[in-house]
Structure 1
Amino acid sequence: MKIAVAGGTGTVGTHVVEVARERGHEVGVLARSAGVDLFAGTGLAARLEGVDVVIDVLSVTTTAAEESTRFFRATTTALLDGERDAGTPHHLALSIVGIDRAPEAYYAGKIVQEQLVEAGGVPWTILRATQFHEFAAQLFDRAKVGPLHAAPRMRTQPIAAGEVAAHLVDLAEAGPSGRAPELAGPREEDLPRMIRAYARATGYRGWIPAINLPGGFGRAQRDGSLLPAADAVLGTQTFDAWIAALRP
């Protein structure tokens, strides 16, 4: 199978590329470093020739709804246009559990992405997954007030990025299936505890206060709205096991 991975150099994308190649698939990466700018819509056409499935794991670093929406509208439209022109038979998009219950901030763009995929005219699969274990590291770096690191309160059920990647390749091999069952980690975690554990594992010893994010999005993070459904497929690696693997 010939697979193109949009965002193949990112947190999940690197794992997708590795898993797919280990299974014997021919894999191409759709990224700026490979000469493809999906936001600008350039360099794509030649990369889709003969492709059996596009796996879209693109992301953008923002918490602004407008910026997220602009990014996912542009990149998803470019991919779908290119796939229709090339006759690509399957578009597989990675989304996030709970976005319809908190369609704000970054999630606003993911809502638009899903809508475009469903209406795009290319046979599709959408997989919603929970946050990755790496989410703790990302927020440790980004959730800061001056020099102070902060930990947003959130109930989450994180999953290993490598397990998400393997599941995406499974879905690619299975062919278009519409909305796949949600994917989540093996147990619920407290995000401030995750961020503090990551900080300690990497040598940081400072105070990390827990904070409430404002508005409906913050409430959804705290009240469990972003947890997976009861019938979600569960991964196996716990967050604590992931942290243990980080330690020297």
Structure 2
Amino acid sequence: MRIAVIGASGRIGREVIDVLKNQGHEVVAITRSGGVDVYTGDGLAQALAGVDAVVDAVNASTTDTDAVTDYFRTIAHTVQRDAAAAGVRRIAVVSIIGTDRFTAGHYAGKVAHELAYREGPVPVRVLRAAQFHEFTEMMLEWTTRDDVAYVPRTRTQLVAARTVAERLAELIVADTAPDLIEVAGPEELNLAAAAAKVAARRGNPARVEEILDTTDPNHEQQADGALLPGPAAIIAGPTFDEWLDQRYPA
């Protein structure tokens, strides 16, 4: 198959491309730096010429609710328009487990992303994933002040980015598949505790503290388990500790 990957330079996009190429598929990498802007549509029609399927692994640089909602909604409408014109058979989109239980920030943007894709003519399959193992590193970068990381209370079931990419590749190449599936790691984790393990392995920051940020409109859902997978989810390793040993050998 000839498969276009939007967000090809991102964490999931890079992994999906590697998986698909290893399976013998032809991949069209779509990035802004490569001359394609999926928000405005510049260069997109040309990039999708002759493409059988599209994977949308695009990410957003903002968490402002209005901005991120507009961003994802516009991209979905633009991709649907040009994909339909190009004769694309299907689209697979990466989203977040439990995203429809939230009303603000990045989660709200992903809800808009899913819904806007559903409005278009090209059939869409959505893969909702748990937070990646690598999310612990990002959280440390975002929340560290004076060598202390203040991580929001969050129940999650961290999953490896590579595992998500493998499931996404399966979803896009399959002749038949559900239009919505979930994938998560093997165990429920406390995000702050997981981040503390990463900090201990790499030697910084010096301390990780769990906080309940009541200014965040999503704090209750995150703390109460809205990000945990449902009973029908695909559960796949490696475990967080296995990933940690590989990423930061003791």
The structure-2 alpha-carbon separation of the partners of 1:29 and 1:188, relative to structure 1 and needing over 3 Å to count, comes to: same
CA contact (8 A) 2:6 2:56 kept: yes
RMSD value over aligned CA atoms? 1.5
Alignment length (residue pairs): 248
Deviation at 1:170, TM superposition (A): 0.6
The alpha carbon displacement at 1:29 in A equals 0.7
- 2:147–2:207 contact (8 Å) kept in structure 1: no
The 1:110/1:62 distance shift into structure 2, 3 A limit, reads same
In the alignment, is the contact (CA less than 8 A) between 2:157 and 2:186 conserved in 1?
yes
Partner residue in 2 for 1:225: 226
| 5+ long unaligned stretches in structure 2 | none
The one-letter code sitting in structure 2 at the alignment partner of 1:233 is I
Q: 1:170-181 to 2 correspondence within 5 Å?
A: 170-175=170-175, 177-181=177-181
The answer to whether the 8 Å contact 1:64/1:106 transfers is: yes
Cα deviation digits, residues 67-90 of structure 1 (max 9, x gap): 211210222122111101111110
Distance 1:136 1:61 in 2: 18
CA distance in 2, matches of 1:137, 1:161: 13
* 1:148 Cα deviation after fit: 4.0
Q: Secondary structure at the match of 1:127?
A: strand
* Unmatched segments (≥5 aa) in structure 1: none
- Evaluate the alpha carbon distance shift between residue 146 and residue 105 of structure 1 in structure 2; reply closer, same or farther with a 3 A threshold: farther
Q: How does 1:1-248 map to 2 (within 5 A)?
A: 1-145=1-145, 148-175=148-175, 177-214=177-214, 215-248=216-249
Is contact 1:153-1:212 (8 Å) kept?
yes
Cα deviation digits, residues 77-108 of structure 1 (max 9, x gap): 22111101111110111111001111321111
Q: Deviations over 1:201-220 (max 9, x none)?
A: 22215122111132541000
**What letter matches 2:58 in structure 1?**
L
Deviations 1:133-178 (A, max 9, x none): 0110111111245664211110000111101101111111114645
- Cα deviation for residue 43 of structure 1 reads 1.1
User: Percent of counterpart pairs with the same letter?
Assistant: 36
Quick one: structure 1 residues 149 and 221, their matched pair in 2 at CA, closer, same or farther if it must change by over 3 Å?
Answer: same
Write out per-residue CA displacement over residues 26-67 of structure 1, whole angstroms, 9 at most, x where no aligned residue: 001111122111122211111111111100011113322112
